[in-house]
Structure 1
């Protein structure tokens, strides 16, 4: 079987919503891997703004290096915008993967760098340029809306920042946020293997195991 890694990205680093979205990405890509007889050897879950450059995304660089060092056949990504929101950054990443003959599959767009026979997709660069430009426009629109809403909130007397105690999670919230960890622990996976499969740190897995008495 061919070896694959999963790479996911969400814009926020700590909110429950972002973790839920990452979990959905992982589940969808794991399903794709199962259907296509791919062995997922590691999951990378990045929580960072899509506006960051490639050089400002250490986990993306780690995923690429891991793929090269471990002879990974394909990187699975839920959609093109998870690779980046700037067209030049996306094309730079695609070029690096091409040069090292590492395939990359985008689930939403159903695009890959190489076909199953190993031939390069001649339309990929064009599609990446079009979709990457659309992602840039989307990012600018989101930024404008957020800034406009924040400015109005402050003008109306609102205060920015997290409410006191907002960082404390309930057990139900943890069950939702760490669904993939619980699933693997309950099937008998070790802390180390669970961390490797889900992309969470061993300390986080250990915390969940202790909290749910597994």
Structure 2
């Protein structure tokens, strides 16, 4: 039986509120259909607007590629690599130097063929979708700025919710810590028991008293 081709799943969501379970599920099913062996999964929550130098996930990907840990990188779509056309191209080029193909599941497209050769047509498609990803970033940024300006014009509050919503969020995250505080456990002991700073415990106690 021939050895399975090793691949890396590369997954990214933009915010801490999002989860990447759907991407992992979709790509895992795709690899099972293709008979690929998943040797590495890189899943992060980071904005695609950061540069290549500031993207720890991309640095991890390229380092693993240099160690020959896989032969293909599987992504749901090109914007998961990033939203800067130059950085997308740079990342793909570095993978190509190791003869590693990038598979874009939504396009049914591979960046190089089995012999490690780039296709002119494929490069054109990658360039177009990279520019589209960058343009989406620009449009989103403009919408956010416009929304903030409109909110300020209407004197609406901008920022994280406070009051009841914030207390509910704290209760959900630090429920056990709050329970210990109510039992009379000291600030220092709560800090040690729950591996948080003493200042965090103090802030939570103040919220409880509010």
TM above 0.5, yes or no, is yes
> What's the CA shift string for 1:90-136, capped at 9, x where partnerless?
11111111111111101112221222454433322211111111111
In structure 1, what is the equivalent of residue 167 of structure 2? 165
Segment of structure 1 superposing worse, 155-164 or 139-148: 155-164
Larger RCO: Structure 1 or Structure 2 (Cα < 8 Å, ≥ 6 residues apart)? Answer: 1
In structure 2, what is the equivalent of residue 154 of structure 1? 152
Q: Is the 8 A contact 1:4 1:38 kept in 2?
A: yes
| 1:30 equivalent among 28, 31, 49 | 28
Distance in 2, matches of 1:70 and 1:168, equals 44
Distance in 2, matches of 1:62 and 1:41, equals 14
Alignment of 1:1-214 (within 5 A): 1-12=4-15, 14-15=16-17, 18-19=18-19, 22-116=20-114, 118-163=116-161, 164-165=166-167, 167-168=169-170
In structure 2, what is the equivalent of residue 181 of structure 1? none
Residues 141/122 of structure 1: CA separation in 2 closer, same or farther (3 Å cut): same
Distance in 1, matches of 2:29 and 2:42, equals 16
Distance in 2, matches of 1:41 and 1:150, equals 43
> What's the CA shift string for 1:65-95, capped at 9, x where partnerless?
1133143011110001111212211111111
TM-score, reference length from structure 1: 0.71
> What's the CA shift string for 1:2-47, capped at 9, x where partnerless?
11111111111x21xx11xx11111111111000001112211121
Distance in 2, matches of 1:169 and 1:26, equals 30
TM-score, reference length from structure 2: 0.72
For these two proteins, the number of residue pairs brought into alignment is: 166
Q: Which runs of 5+ in 1 are unaligned?
A: 172-214
Distance in 1, matches of 2:45 and 2:85, equals 20
Q: Which runs of 5+ in 2 are unaligned?
A: 174-210
SS in structure 2 at match of 1:165: helix
Query: RMSD in angstroms over aligned alpha carbons?
Result: 2.0
